[in-house]
Structure 1
């Protein structure tokens, strides 16, 4: 069983581990068949969701893409139960490549996170607001300072309300926050809910991974054209198709630099 380790909170040393907050406790998750370990609190543990390419067999996918996803097999992913972290992570991913975002996020954890096992919990919204400008600049995050602080203020005021919203409604609600556009909101909500039908599936990452998985297909080059094509191709399986294609890309990221993210 493959794991989708797209979130930069994963410590990729073997076995990959990640600390995560839930509304009732904090957990250490290992990307193996072992269950999450409770670090503090109680309540239900975060368990992985499975995206299975077998469910896409009847879609009539282009042959090369269908073969690549079939060879990948089912993919496990732990949705991010911490909405604040999902939003902050999407902001960090703006503009820069995924490898740069992972490095920046990991450095933020080391500088301001709470130790949890041999990794860290991410800083809370309150901690981000308390960090001096110079500390963020030293972490290479001067450009991220304003959107992170705007998001932190908004989360502290609206987080409880946001937590009750369906995914598609939440995507719209987050865009009220300055410097949060459709890409950032969609990426954050997909991370938080596990529903990749709200992910910005026309973005560069999905386009590149689809074309690399199936170079023989003439994929649309532009974002709107690709998004429309992808949506029609996926039908009711838009979330699963997008998730497993991104997972395929994560499995092959070592072959080249990961596509960057737009400013939104």
Structure 2
């Protein structure tokens, strides 16, 4: 079975069904899927957003620990909608900084509803221009005072450099984004992974990956030290680093959907 990953905080609920609005270079799209996350319907103008498919069968046999491999195999194929707007990916990663996943999801929704445009039953992320137009008092009223400076610094940089950034290879883009104040390796990696669908660029030693790997395969003594965990993760993944990383996040998304723990990230 193939099911849709709803890790992105732009996913809302409409009559119990997940729904998301997003911008593409050619227009606005509204995406929805069944409550069971098995059917995706998309409508809009221009080319449709890319839906990446990640398959446990692509993982290298014999390298991934048995417990984790079995958990991901039971998960099956996973679809994930790639965020086609680099500004949205960057703003989303900034909102996710430091705070827990549930809080980030609520804040993302408040920000979209207050300052973004409507897209069917949901809202788009405010554009870089709309973000710069908000003053300190408005951010405070939204409960986002501590997000104002990083979001507005990123908006200024995006408007100045987005044409250049769009031409960069993904790994170079991760480095380029870190020239923006308040954007470090975690934020840049998470944004570019969301934007490109390449989760080898995701900060795969972060709390989310370490938490879900330990829950999926508690028989393994996973390193608590981030650099050591990252080294082990690369070794286990081999050439399938993106697939292993996104499927582990998807397993956590599926687990959280049922168990409702709230594991966030605590990085830049």
Shorter-chain TM-score: what band? over 0.9
Counterparts of 1:116-135 in structure 2 under 5 Å? 116-135=119-138
Counterpart position of 1:210: 213
Aligned mate of 1:66, from 65, 69, 77:
69
Counterpart position of 2:185: 182
Kept in 2: contact 1:8–1:102 (CA 8 A):
yes
Aligned mate of 1:162, from 148, 160, 165:
165
Kept in 2: contact 1:171–1:182 (CA 8 A):
yes
Report the count of equivalent residues. 261
Judged with a 3 Å threshold, the aligned counterparts in structure 2 of structure 1 residues 174 and 59 are, in CA distance, closer, same or farther, namely: farther
Counterpart secondary structure, 2:61: helix
Counterparts of 1:1-264 in structure 2 under 5 Å? 1-13=2-14, 14-31=16-33, 33-38=39-44, 42-253=45-256, 254-264=258-268
Judged with a 3 Å threshold, the aligned counterparts in structure 2 of structure 1 residues 82 and 59 are, in CA distance, closer, same or farther, namely: farther
CA deviation after TM superposition for structure 1 residue 11, in Å: 0.9
List per-residue Cα deviations over 1:202-256 (Å, max 9, x = no partner).
1110000000000011111111000000001101100000000000000111425
Q: Distance in 1 between matches of 2:177 and 2:235?
A: 26
Kept in 2: contact 1:59–1:233 (CA 8 A):
no
Counterpart secondary structure, 1:18: strand
Q: Distance in 1 between matches of 2:249 and 2:236?
A: 16
5+ residue gaps, structure 2, are none
Compute the TM-score of the two structures, normalised by the length of structure 1.
Answer: 0.96
Kept in 2: contact 1:59–1:234 (CA 8 A):
no
CA deviation after TM superposition for structure 1 residue 113, in Å: 1.2
Q: Distance in 2 between matches of 1:51 and 1:34?
A: 16
Q: Distance in 2 between matches of 1:47 and 1:185?
A: 20
List per-residue Cα deviations over 1:18-50 (Å, max 9, x = no partner).
111011111111235344101xxx421113110
5+ residue gaps, structure 1, are none
List per-residue Cα deviations over 1:106-127 (Å, max 9, x = no partner).
0111111111110011100000
The more displaced of 133-142 and 207-216 is: 133-142
Compute the TM-score of the two structures, normalised by the length of structure 2.
Answer: 0.94
